[in-house]
Structure 1
């Protein structure tokens, strides 16, 4: 029951804990990651725009001559993500003492990039290829890099929004069976399920409706977080300060 209460607490937008309303916003951004990576892998040619570990592996596969993988998209995704991380890092330095303002600025930029990708996708010829494919990789890669850097600066435990390896490791390594005292299972399972939900709904929307539907879905979620973030711009509660 404790873990269920812990997971439920993450969904409350008026959270009163150390991280205030940030956890539910980051859960939504985790859903966005799943949606966007589902689209990019299924329609941009075996490339992730959020999961850079996967891209490094894909580059190795392409270099080894494995069929179905190519160097250029994965390398471009890595570069675009790094540029986005630079943007997110700069935002963090511009707002080092107020996490609410950082969240708002980062999601605003990300929403504009993803909605720009949706507009480009609507105008692009199908199937996607050539310049259209590369423009989408750049827009989405920069967006996800910005998100990841901002989430890193917000520093809410187990809610990195793009990486689950350490989260899933912690479920086992910090649990009682491993000799630990607190696996934080509630928040870690919630983060994992958010990614799964995003990937599943993104794939269904892209495959059953239209590829643009998944990108539009991500853009709508980001817009919702941005609107929510306007409520946090002038907050002065303790959660706005970065963790020590």
Structure 2
């Protein structure tokens, strides 16, 4: 059903969110102790490494990320449970809340001591909540091949399935969007401050929130509600 459903501008907005995911995961993985705030598959593996005492992985940061991601997903799932809510409004409200969480994280990175353990855990917790909510709401939006936080099934489907060029293009675009976010995040960290990728991610989220809200108010928005 979701393959033939009209998704309006949602694919483009979700690709933007995928770029944002790459940005925040660049910060968490490269500066906060090899932990992801969006990719929970990686964190489960990292927690196994941490318990084994291998790889210098922080078990506390990993547990905080998984727990806060779950909390965000729980809240996002409750928010997205109302079937009468327009998908544009659902996305706009979620992106707005995420923007606040990521912006607060950027403020911590800019004005607190990012080498302190408490600051680092807070910088893991806040975006993990944001990414958990995003993941839950994106599931509710049900746009195929655009999960925004994980690409394993997308990459497998790209090579394993016989599909139309449109589907293949969407999958490739999703992979490139995540890669772009990670690339930009890495460059900003290399040549700037820790907060820079977080401000960029907050800007992406703010843009998605405003765009989704405006587009869902148009007369044609009913077709992708």
TM-score by length of 2: 0.93
User: 1:69-103, CA deviations, whole angstroms, 9 ceiling, x for partnerless residues?
Assistant: 12100011000000110111111024544111110
Long gaps (5+) in structure 1: 1-16, 175-179
Between the aligned partners of 2:195 and 2:86, the Cα distance in structure 1 is: 34
Using CA pairs below 8 Å that are at least 6 residues apart, which structure has the higher relative contact order?
Answer: 2
- The equivalent residue for 2:130 is 143
Alignment of 1:157-176 (within 5 A): 157-174=144-161
Between the aligned partners of 1:125 and 1:119, the Cα distance in structure 2 is: 11
Between the aligned partners of 1:108 and 1:94, the Cα distance in structure 2 is: 18
Instruction: Figure out how many residues of one structure are paired with residues of the other and give that number.
Output: 218
Alignment of 1:62-211 (within 5 A): 62-94=50-82, 96-126=84-114, 128-174=115-161, 180-182=162-164, 184-211=167-194
* Greater Cα offset, 96-105 or 74-83: 96-105
- Gap change, CA 1:181 and 1:228, over 3 Å in 2: closer
* Greater Cα offset, 81-90 or 47-56: 81-90
How far residue 139 of structure 1 moved from its aligned partner, in angstroms, is 0.5
Between the aligned partners of 2:116 and 2:62, the Cα distance in structure 1 is: 14
Q: Is the 8 A contact 2:6 2:224 kept in 1?
A: yes
Q: Is it true that 1:37 corresponds to 2:25 in the alignment?
A: yes
TM-score by length of 1: 0.86
The Cα RMSD (Å) is 1.4
How far residue 237 of structure 1 moved from its aligned partner, in angstroms, is 1.9
Q: Is the 8 A contact 1:91 1:105 kept in 2?
A: no
The 3-state SS of whatever aligns with 1:68 is coil
- The equivalent residue for 1:57 is 45
- The equivalent residue for 2:222 is 237
Between the aligned partners of 2:12 and 2:20, the Cα distance in structure 1 is: 13
Q: Is it true that 1:218 corresponds to 2:201 in the alignment?
A: yes
